[in-house]
Amino acid sequence: MRLEGRTALVTGAGRGLGRALALGLAREGADVAVHYNRSAAGAEQVADEIRGLGRRAVTVQADITSLEDVERMTAAAYERFGRIDVLINNVGDAAPEQQSWRSLDEDLIDRVLLTDVKGTLLVTHAVGSRMLEQGGGAIVSVCSNVVVTGSPRAPQYAASKYGVIGLTKSYAAAFAPNVRVNALGPGFIETETTLAREDWRSGRRDEVLARTPLQKIPAPEDIVAPIVFLACDDSAHLTGAFLVYDGGFSMLGA
C-alpha cells in the first residue's frame, strides 16, 4: 500500500496499459481519476473495478492535444479529489498501422508528434502546476526503449519519445524540489494494439523474443511495479530520470 491516502490521474486508462496502471495504483492504495478520450465504456468499467477494490474513482474525458480539454480535465479531477499526488502520462501513439519508414504520411507524422509531444506537455504542465501549488507530487511518463533502438518502422515515433525525455528533464528542473518528474522506457508490451499488429502476428514477436535476454515479452500488468516505484516515496531522490525496462532488448550486444 505504498500509495495509500494519495490520489492519481492516469491518462488513457480506459483500456490496455492505462487500465492495468490505473488498477495497479488502486491496489497500492490510491484513489484514481481515469482519463479517456473516446473509450468511455472502458473507462467506466475500470472505475467500477477500482471502486470494487475499496478506492474512490472518477472518469474524466479530454482530448489531451487540446489545452482547453486538458484544463477542464484537470479541474474535474481536482474538484473530485481536492488534489492529485501522482500523474501517469500514459497516452501515446506508436503509429501501429505503419509498417515501414517508406510509408511516408504527413497526417500520421503530425498525429504521433501531436499526441506524444504536445499532449504530454499540456498534461504535465496543467497538472504539475497545480502540484506545485499543493506542495508536491510525482509525475511519471510512459516513454519507450525506442529512444535507444530507433524505429526504422516509424521514425516519427522514436522522435516523439525523444521529445518525452526532453519534457521529462525540463519539467523535472522546473518543478524541483517539490514535484518529481521521471520517465519509464518499456519495450514491446503485449497490449491489444500490439497483438493486433500485422507484423506481430507474422514473425515480429518471435524476433523480439529471440533478441530479449530475459526471454519474456511483458503483459500490461508487468509494467505496474516500475511505475509504482517511480510514483511512490521509494524513488524520493530520483527526478529527471529515464529508466529502461525492456528485459535487456536494447542492451548493447543483446
Residues involved in catalysis: 157
Phi, psi torsion values for 111, nearest 5 degrees: -65, -45
Give just the sign of the alpha carbon dihedral 170, 172, 178, 180: positive
Phi, psi torsion values for 193, nearest 5 degrees: -65, -45
Which residues, other chains included, contact 250 with Cβ-Cβ below 8 Å and sequence gap of 6+? 145, 148, 149, 187, 244
Contact present, 220 and 19 (Cβ < 8 Å):
yes
What are the Cα distances from residue 116, in Å, to 70, 111, 121, 229? 14, 9, 8, 23
Q: Is the peptide bond before 155 cis (omega within 30 degrees of 0)?
A: no
